[in-house]
Structure 1
Amino acid sequence: MSIKEKEKKKYSLDKKNGDEHQIILYNDDFNTFDHVIETLINVCDHTPLQAEQCTLLVHYKGKCSVKSGTLIDLKPRLKRLIDANLSAEIL
């Protein structure tokens, strides 16, 4: 088995075990670009460029995955996003 196949298999096992989740941020008509960008930097540890790109994706596509990880890591981040009046959920 090649290294790529091992990595692919390991990743698919992680997904099956439910270890990997995502925070999905949704578009709304209330928050400014600056507020969303600053919140993503503070809550999701984004760089300013990452935060700006995610904000634009949310604006034009309606949603964007802004953070991946375990539920233990994502739940407090989701709470902080919601407390900042952003629309988000964990999938």
Structure 2
Amino acid sequence: MSIFASGKEDVLLEEDIDVSIGEPADLIVFNDDHNTFDWVMQSFVEVLGHSSEQSEQLALMIHLKGKATVKSAAFNELRPKKDALCDRGLSAVIEGKG
């Protein structure tokens, strides 16, 4: 099992999460220099089902802090959402809470 030390805590890498039991995980989106606030917010509304207010707050957090957890759920629920965000050009990963 691979564990990534993020400085504050250890996190499981996506490939090490047991998807068969729906391990709890976080969907993390990273800041970039090519997606607009409007596109990121629209993506959060359409893909994650967030409100426009919540999407705006998350986009601002990502801009200011470099990344933010945009959804927490079972890995098998987050996987298609991560793929959809990446298909839209966002940089997203899933980190296990284990």
Using structure 1 for the length normalisation, give the TM-score: 0.79
Identity of aligned residues (%): 41
Identify, as 1 or 2, the structure richer in strand. 2
Identify, as 1 or 2, the structure richer in helix. 1
Which residue of the other structure, out of 59, 63, 74, is the alignment partner of 1:59?
63
Larger radius of gyration: 1
| Preserved contact between residue 22 and residue 76 of structure 2 (Cα < 8 Å) | no
CA RMSD across the alignment: 1.3
Task: Return the alpha-carbon distance in structure 2 between the equivalents of residues 63 and 24 of structure 1.
Answer: 7
Name segments (4+ residues, structure 1) moved above 4 Å.
none
Instruction: Please show how residues 1-91 of structure 1 align to structure 2 within 5 Å.
Output: 19-91=23-95
Task: Determine helix, strand or coil for the equivalent of 1:56.
Answer: helix
Using structure 2 for the length normalisation, give the TM-score: 0.74
Task: Return the alpha-carbon distance in structure 2 between the equivalents of residues 89 and 40 of structure 1.
Answer: 15
Task: Return the alpha-carbon distance in structure 2 between the equivalents of residues 86 and 19 of structure 1.
Answer: 23
